[in-house]
Amino acid sequence: MSDSIRLIAGLGNPGEKYVGTRHNAGFWFVDELCRRHGGSLRSDARFGGDVGKITVDGFDVLLLKPQIFMNRSGRAVAALARFFKIPPEEILVAHDELDLPPGTLRLKRSGGHGGHNGLRDICQQLGSRDFLRLRIGIDHPGPGNDVVGYVLGRPHADHRTAIDEALAQAVALTPAMLAGDLDKAMQQLHTKA
């Protein structure tokens, strides 16, 4: 099993209505990778998403922002992975995470979907749970509150700033992730002060 990453998929919902909403935190990560590394994305109907490629420290990596709704995003990830013969172990999925505070990131190897509809569909479409996840903390609205309304809402300015700062740190650690040095990346992300 390789630990190198060949595909980074950022999850979100397409359309102007959802720009800037918490559920699109995975899109923000891919956008920041493009900004920092001179990448651009183009719509590709074959894969149901916006696709691009960047080179980071000599490592080529495909980028994907599915342009189908979150609960069907696995179709785009699986289509691209099949076309380029990328096994699940070489895929990193960046997604919003209710169980982490804003500004907190966690890398996770494999696992379940934790109720996240995008992850659920990716697991089903890939036929595997063995992909890497970049969990981007967006906080939880609290017991009894409307989770759907919360994730589809925009974060407060201080939360967005914390998320953006965390994403900048994740982008800085991307070379380690692409090289397969996931333990180093995890240690640095997980011990952030």
- Per DSSP, 24 falls in state G
Q: Which residue has the tokens 């590394």?
A: 37
Inside any domain, residue 68:
yes
pLDDT of residue 114: 67
- Which alpha helices (DSSP H) does the chain contain, by range? 25-37, 73-83, 117-126, 147-151, 157-172, 174-178, 182-190
Token pair 């397969």 is at which residue?
A: 180
Q: Tell me, what's the pLDDT at 145?
A: 81
**For residue 32, what are the domain limits?**
7-190
Alpha-carbon distance of 40 to 54, in angstroms, equals 8
Is 27 part of a structural domain of the chain? yes
For the residues 114-130, what does the mean pLDDT come to? Answer: 88
Which of the residues are catalytic? 23
Instruction: Establish whether 13 is an annotated binding residue.
Output: no
Q: What does the pLDDT look like over 180-189, one tens digit per residue?
A: 888 888 888 8
What integer is the mean pLDDT of 165-187? 89
> In the chain, how many domains are there?
1
Is 117 annotated for ligand binding? yes
Indicate the pLDDT class of residue 146, thresholds 50, 70 and 90: confident
Annotated binding residue 71 = yes
User: Residue 139: inside a domain, yes or no?
Assistant: yes
Q: Which residues pair with 32 in a beta bridge?
A: none
- Return the CATH number at 14: 3.40.50.1470
Asked whether residue 2 is domain-assigned, the answer is no
Asked if residue 1 belongs to a domain, the reply is no
Residue 18, annotated as binding a ligand:
yes
Q: What is the pLDDT of residue 60?
A: 94
